[in-house]
Structure 1
Amino acid sequence: MTCLNILSGGAAQGLVRSLTSAFRAKTGLDIEGEFGAVGVMADKLRAGRPTDIVILTEALVATLAAEKLVVPSSERNVGTVETALAVRTDHPMVSAPDRESLREALLAADAIYIPDTRASTAGIHVAKVLELLGIGETIKSRLKIYPNGATAMRHLAESPAARPIGCTQSTEIISTPGVILSGALPPGCELATVYTAAITVGAIRPHEAKVLIDVLTAPDHRELRTSAGFLEPP
């Protein structure tokens, strides 16, 4: 079957999967491509990867528009995603209503699962938070860093550690079996990221890409977006 090619942040993977059948019913196409750290996905587009649509952070899509790699008039915000804490489903929930409780929770963990601290939205933020809390060096040896949040959460689910914890975007936590969303980061450490879909300048199937954007942002699919971890965009 002919496919629509996508490059997307891992935050949108669960939502795209849940709406693939609706998209297929409208176009007869499947969706193929990659989901991962947004910086890596943007670089793949820059390197010439055949792509019809991107779903990346609002800021990164704006950069790609300035680089004339996506069509500015096609940009549409899908929703806002919070960075949050995760625990295994068989472990007690961890609450961090303020900075000190977050600091204590991270210090109490014997393994901390996070995404790439250089190319992923959540990973970059987590690295900043650890420095803000003054524990970057203390817990450095406990960090388990993976290419993206979804991979980090899969490893958290299988972790042999006694007190593991994870931190990535809520959508990646919700879509991973074996882990559970434990709570958002506290004031001063929080991060809410707007994700935007756009059609690429080199799209082979721009019409079908627009259909996918319409499906992703349709009012009728608001409940699906919410259950996947997306808040309504500003």
Structure 2
Amino acid sequence: MTNLNILSGGAAQGLVGSLAAKFKAQTGLDIGGDFGAVGAMADKLRAGAPADILILTSALIATLAKEGLAEGTSMKDVGQVETALAVRESDPLVSAPDATSLRNVFLGADAIFVPDTKASTAGIHVAKVLAQLGIADEIASRLKIYPNGATAMRHMAESDATRPVGCTQATEIIATKGIRVSGALPKGCELATVYTAAVTTKAAHAREAKILIELLTAADQSTVRAHAGFLPL
């Protein structure tokens, strides 16, 4: 079976999955490829990985277009995603209306599940926030770092920690069974990231890639995007 090859940030995995059946009905193609830290996905494209479509941060898509790897005319914003706190469904929600309470949330956790702090959008931000709160060294031994947010959340759901907390993009939390969103990060620590889709310049299935972009961004799919955790621009 022929696939449409995708390289995407983990934030969009749930949304793409929810549209896969409709996409296949229109094109006959399944969707294959990788979802993960956006920096890692860009590096795969640069290294020659086959890809028809990209869903990455708006800034990174713009960079890849300048590098001649993404078609600038095909770029469309999908929506924005907040970085949020996560808890297991069986645990009480945690509240962080300000920086002090967020600091206390992290200090009170015996395990903190996060995505790659060097290559993922949310992970880089979490590392910055921990330094901003002055607790990076204190909680370093409790950090559980995984290649992407989806993997971090799956491990958190299975964790035997007593008081675990997660921090990644809301879409990845929503898409993980056994985990729930416990609130966005407070003012001064918050992050809302715009994700953009684009066809690659070497796409083998450029027409089908454009069809998926239309599905991802169509006005009549706004409820699907909201359910997956994407906020309107």
* TM-score bracket for the superposition, by shorter chain length: over 0.9
Q: Report what 1:210 is aligned to.
A: 210
Letter in 2 for 1:205: H
Q: Equivalent residues in 2 for 1:56-75 (5 A)?
A: 56-75=56-75
Aligned to 1:176: 176
- DSSP-derived class of the 2:129 partner: helix
Q: How do 1:72-151 and structure 2 match up within 5 A?
A: 72-151=72-151
Normalising by structure 2, we get a TM-score of: 0.99
2:190 corresponds in structure 1 to 190
**Letter in structure 1 aligned against 2:164:** P
Q: 2: CA distance between counterparts of 1:143 and 1:173?
A: 17
Q: How many Å separate the matches in 2 of 1:31 and 1:48?
A: 19
SS at match of 2:123: helix
Query: For residues 8-66 of structure 1, what are the alpha-carbon distances to aligned partners after superposition, in whole Å with 9 as ceiling and x for unaligned?
Result: 00000000000001101110110000000000000000000110000000000000001
Gaps of 5+ in 2: none
TM-score by length of 1: 0.99
CA distance in 2, matches of 1:191, 1:201: 30
Deviations 1:120-147 (A, max 9, x none): 0000000000000000000000000000
- Report what 1:13 is aligned to: 13
How far apart, in 1, do the equivalents of 2:140 and 2:51 lie? 37
- The list of structure 1 runs, each at least 4 consecutive aligned residues, that deviate by more than 3 angstroms after superposition, is none
The RMSD of aligned alpha carbons is 0.4
- Equivalent runs, 1:29-40 vs 2, <5 Å: 29-40=29-40
> Quick one: distance in 2 between partners of 1:5 and 1:111?
35
State how far apart, in whole Å, the 2-side matches of 1:70 and 1:46 are.
11
2:42 maps to 42
C-alpha separation in 2, matches of 1:65 and 1:56: 12
Q: Secondary structure at the match of 1:139?
A: helix
Deviation of the 1:2 alpha carbon: 1.2
Distance 2:2 2:221 in 1: 25
Deviations 1:93-120 (A, max 9, x none): 0010000000001000000000000000
Number of residue pairs aligned between Structure 1 and Structure 2: 233
- Give the 3-state SS of the residue equivalent to 2:8 in structure 1: strand
Equivalent-residue separation in structure 2 for 1:206 and 1:107 (angstroms):
48
Identical-pair percentage: 68
List gaps (5 residues or longer) in structure 1. none
Specify the SS of the correspondent of 1:123: helix
Q: Distance in 2 between matches of 1:85 and 1:169?
A: 8
- Aligned letter for 1:103? R
Distance 2:123 2:77 in 1: 22
Please state how far the C-alpha of 1:220 moved relative to its aligned partner.
1.0
2:7 alignment partner, SS class: strand
